[in-house]
Amino acid sequence: PNRAKPGTTILVHAGVYKTDFNDYRDKGGLWLHGMQTFVADGEPGKPIAIVAAGDGEGIFDANDSDRYFNIAAADHLYFEGITVRNTRIAFYCGLQGLEASTGLTVKNCKIEQVQYGILAQDGRSENFYIADNVFIGRNPGDRFHPESGMASGKTDAGYAVNLAGKGHVVCHNYVANFWDGINVFTNSLADPALGQQSRAIDIYNNDLYNT
């Protein structure tokens, strides 16, 4: 059974928490994939929160795993003040037609050396609040990726934020060194009968550099 009930707060103390997904003895369940999978839900007004304890930077180093926080099956999660680095997808919230998350908050976090910061491509995603974060991609910081050209080419970093669905707010973030900075995923399933059109998404006062 899930020990984290709605309203649970998990404090992250200063230090580097580095995944070793080759160690099958790991009691954290990260072996073979290096991925933190969440299935417990919070509730509106009572999220399950993972926040900095306030005694220094808490760094989750994914050690080049494919994705780190897999939260596609969990609703009303809250992350604040932590650092996630060295993974393809920092916050995986579902691909189109598969699964979707509701009520995700990511505030005051640093997400660096990633291909995707927050990926939520299913049109049933709802009510994300993404604010005051720093997203640093894998493209070179002094120029756009040398293998990219116009609307095609190659890039080491895709999107800082890639969302479908409705009711999202993305504001006051710093984004650098991605192909696209903040993106509404236009290829998501958008059957009007299912109410899955991407709509009511507010994106404002973000600083985008080298995209």
Q: Tens digit of pLDDT for each residue in 178-203?
A: 989 999 987 656 666 666 778 899 99
Q: Which residue has better confidence, 58 or 96?
A: 58
Confidence band for 28, pLDDT divided at 50, 70 and 90: low
| Per-residue pLDDT at 151 | 61
Lowest mean pLDDT among 89-93, 154-158, 188-192: 188-192
Mean pLDDT of the 93-105 span: 88
CA angle 15, 113, 28 (to 5 degrees): 45
> Which range (20-34, 80-94, 138-152) has the least confidence?
138-152
Predicted local confidence at residue 142, as pLDDT: 85
Confidence band (pLDDT; 50, 70, 90) for 29?
Answer: low
Q: C-alpha 150: how far from its chain's center?
A: 26
Integer angstrom CA distances of residue 143 from 17, 41, 208: 31, 41, 14
Q: Which are the contacts of 91, defined by CB distance < 8 A and separation ≥ 6? A: 68, 69, 71, 79, 84, 104, 106, 111, 117, 118, 119
Report pLDDT for 111: 98
Nearest by Cα to 23 from 73, 65, 77, 82: 65
pLDDT band at 30 (very low <50, low <70, confident <90, very high): confident
The average confidence (pLDDT) of the chain is 90
pTM score, whole prediction: 0.93
What mean pLDDT comes out for the span 99-112?
95
